[in-house]
Amino acid sequence: MHPFKHSAAAFAVALATACAPAISQTFPTRPMKLVLPTAAGTAPDSIARILGEKLARSMGQPVIVENKPGAGGILAMNQLRHAPADGHTFALIQAAVATVTPLTFKEARFDIERDFETVAIVGLTPMLFTASTRFDARTLADAIKAAKAAPDQVAIGSPNRTSIPHLANELLALKTKAAFQQVPFATTGQGVQAVVAGDISMYTDGVGPLLQLVKAGRLKALAVASDKVRPGLEGIPLAKDTVPDLNVYGWFMVAAPKGTPATVVERLNKELNQAMKMDDVVAKFQEFGTYTTPGTVADAQSFVKREKTLFGDVVRAIGVKPE
């Protein structure tokens, strides 16, 4: 290599190396935008606004939550994908949007790992398997036994086909080879009403919509699909103790456009971790049946990879095709 070219290349590398920390130190330089694939007034919207408020205080710039619902999250994901990769635009994305939408919508041409930078996993919502008080089963093992004894007679509900609760039910069936009758409802409210009335035997959703009904004695909690006992869920058996590795969560991740500098991603991760450790944030998340999950960028990346494989395998196993 010509000496001048060699020194120019070395200078470019040195400049890039010197600039990386500087970007991190000066970031953010203007208001930030937090894109959300759901409407205002939803649980994800509340979680986004809680985090946005904490980030605004710690980072010294406003965080504007922009609701972009519709098309299974595709509108929000496309907006994020085409935003400048400078850290000033990021998104709070639910598990289904990140991992299931690309497999079920032809228009979803994004891949969560290929097209975005994973910043952090900010919350987990364990799935709760519940039963009607009119259903004889007292445990998850009882329910599995009943479904095996009478194939397609034990109706198990969930909100929406290919939602995380529906995939939890399908995973339960796949792992146990029990033939449940899968009954996806249009809304959580319809499903809850059906199981409370005894029209279906079982119903699965995140713990948030179901826990008060369990506490009131209107539903039976058979098992929670969590890796460990979580605060407020003491006394509910872990599904994995009956069906090994049956851990299924709805979850929330923060992602940024691909190419966002690593120093900026690390800074956002650090600030989110600080927020997740605050007592008021922990308490507010728990009101939605969600548990904060501080961790590194690498932790978040490996988690997303694992969950993408898990839900992808279930979607393919039940024969769902993109529409």
218, part of any domain: yes
Q: What is the dihedral of CA 53, 91, 45, 207, to 10 degrees?
A: -110
16, part of any domain: no
Strand boundaries in the chain, DSSP class E? 32-36, 63-67, 89-94, 116-132, 155-159, 181-185, 202-206, 219-224, 249-257
CATH number at residue 108: 3.40.190.150
273, part of any domain: yes
Give me the number of domains the chain comprises: 2
160, part of any domain: yes
Last residue in a domain, options 224, 241, 258 = 241
3-class secondary structure, 106: coil
Residue 5, pLDDT score: 44
24, part of any domain: no
pLDDT in tens, 148-158: 999 999 999 99
pLDDT in tens, 291-314: 999 999 999 999 999 999 999 999
- Say which DSSP state 237 is in: P
- Supply the mean pLDDT for the chain: 93
What angle do the packed helices 164-176 and 140-149 form, to 10 degrees? Answer: 70
Last residue in a domain, options 211, 241, 271 = 241
Write out 158-205 in H/E/C secondary structure.
EECCCCHHHHHHHHHHHHHCCCCEEEEECCHHHHHHHHHHCCCCEEEE
What angle do the packed helices 43-59 and 262-276 form, to 10 degrees? Answer: 110
- Segment 123-128 shows an average pLDDT of 98
Q: Please say whether the beta carbons of 224 and 236 come within 8 A.
A: yes
26 pLDDT band (50/70/90 cuts)? confident
pLDDT in tens, 65-83: 999 998 999 999 999 999 9
Print the domain residue range for 198: 126-241
276, part of any domain: yes
Contacts of 301 (CB under 8 A, 6+ apart): 113, 118
Residue 13, pLDDT score: 46
| 119 in the same domain as 62 | yes
| 133 in the same domain as 114 | no
| 132 in the same domain as 120 | no
Tokens representing residue 79 in the block: 């907006």
3-class secondary structure, 301: helix
21, part of any domain: no
| 232 in the same domain as 131 | yes
Q: Is the pTM above the cut of 0.85?
A: yes
pLDDT in tens, 199-213: 999 999 999 999 999
| 225 in the same domain as 202 | yes
CATH number at residue 208: 3.40.190.10
| 114 in the same domain as 131 | no
2-11, 78-87, 231-240, 303-312: lowest mean pLDDT where? Answer: 2-11
| 232 in the same domain as 155 | yes
Last residue in a domain, options 241, 275, 300 = 241
Residue 142, pLDDT score: 98
| 258 in the same domain as 182 | no
| 179 in the same domain as 228 | yes
13, part of any domain: no
